[in-house]
Amino acid sequence: MCVIMKKRVISALAMLPLLLVVYVGGRTLLAVCLAVGAAAVTEFFRAFEAKGVRPSKAVAYVFLCLLYLANAFWPTFSAWGPGGGAAAEGRLYALWVVAAVAASFIGMFKAEEGGAEDGLATAAGLLYIGFFSFHVALADQLPDGLLKWLIFITAFGTDIMAFLVGSALGKHKLCPWISPKKTVEGAVGGLIGSVAFCVLFGALFMPHALAHCAAIGVLGGVAAQLGDLTASVFKRKLGVKDYGDLIPGHGGVMDRADSLLFTAPVVYYYGALVLGGLS
């Protein structure tokens, strides 16, 4: 127990520079999101390669760069199509999704010895990791930039409380074939922790949206655990323990960011669609 806690403390300290980047935001956060996304995609593909699947790194890297460049230079596209602005931006990202998936499948044409799983793995990496994580940068660009913090509060708050409650009270297995150590008690504790941390943050910094912070805590707490379990399913199916060994106690980038992949879209779309970005 003490060894595990020590590893988690070291891991948490390793994440502190990321929080500084989140605070700075803007182009700095955009660049770091691109770098982290590319690193996570690389780890994800490496796990597939261990099983003989060969996703296209070239396609993934090119389309990740296109996605972030389109966002960085969005004013260039602001008049594209009827309505311009946000409507045009949405169409641009929809176009990116279509082109990214198409390119993933077209990449199979030149590999006679490859299989359909190569293209499917490429598309999965681009959408599940590349596009989902991109929502961290999108949340930073909402009128109220404070919402971006709820992505990390729900993800890390859920993870911490699920571990603590599960270690102390856990008796009933949640999904033993996916993650033998996760318990129902831990899941409930993680959800309660997510709501509590979000409400505390709201009370301190967003009192005008306290109820919405609580709602995000519920949705984000569920999303964080689903994201964690999804990453675990991939690891189980691919036969790997960790995606990498970059962070002590937590493996690679993917092992630490798995819950963020689901919470980032949840928080962003709640803010954009329900709150209108709190403009």
Give SS3 for 75: helix
Domain count, the chain: 1
Exposure letters 6-30 (e unless 16+ CB within 10 A, then b): eebeebeeeeeeeeeebeeeeeebb
Question: Do 25 and 148 meet the contact criterion of CB atoms below 8 Å apart?
Answer: yes
Instruction: Return the percentage of the chain with pLDDT > 90, whole number.
Output: 60
Among 113-117, 148-152, 256-260, name the one with the lowest average pLDDT.
113-117
- State both tokens at 73: 């230079």
Q: Of 163, 157, 164, 138, nearest to 201 (Cα)?
A: 157
Exposure letters 154-179 (e unless 16+ CB within 10 A, then b): bbbbbbbbbbbbbbeebeeebeeebb
Report residue 82's pLDDT band, with 50, 70 and 90 as the boundaries: very low
pTM score of the predicted model: 0.89
Residues 6+ apart with CB under 8 A from 179: 228, 229, 232
Q: Of 73, 191, 54, 154, nearest to 113 (Cα)?
A: 54
- State both tokens at 277: 């970005």
Sign of the C-alpha dihedral computed for residues 80, 82, 83 and 87 taken in this order: negative
pLDDT above 60 for 259? yes
Q: Give me the chain's average pLDDT, please.
A: 86
pLDDT above 50 for 18? yes
- State both tokens at 152: 């990390």
Question: Do 46 and 57 meet the contact criterion of CB atoms below 8 Å apart?
Answer: no
pLDDT above 70 for 52? yes
Sign of the C-alpha dihedral computed for residues 21, 19, 93 and 230 taken in this order: positive
**Which amino acid, 206?**
M
- The pLDDT value recorded for residue 75 is 46
Residues 6+ apart with CB under 8 A from 154: 194, 197, 198, 216, 217, 220, 221, 223, 224, 263, 266, 267
- The pLDDT value recorded for residue 252 is 77
Domain of residue 151: give its range.
2-278
Instruction: Return the percentage of the chain with pLDDT > 70, whole number.
Output: 84
Highest mean pLDDT among 61-70, 177-186, 240-249: 61-70
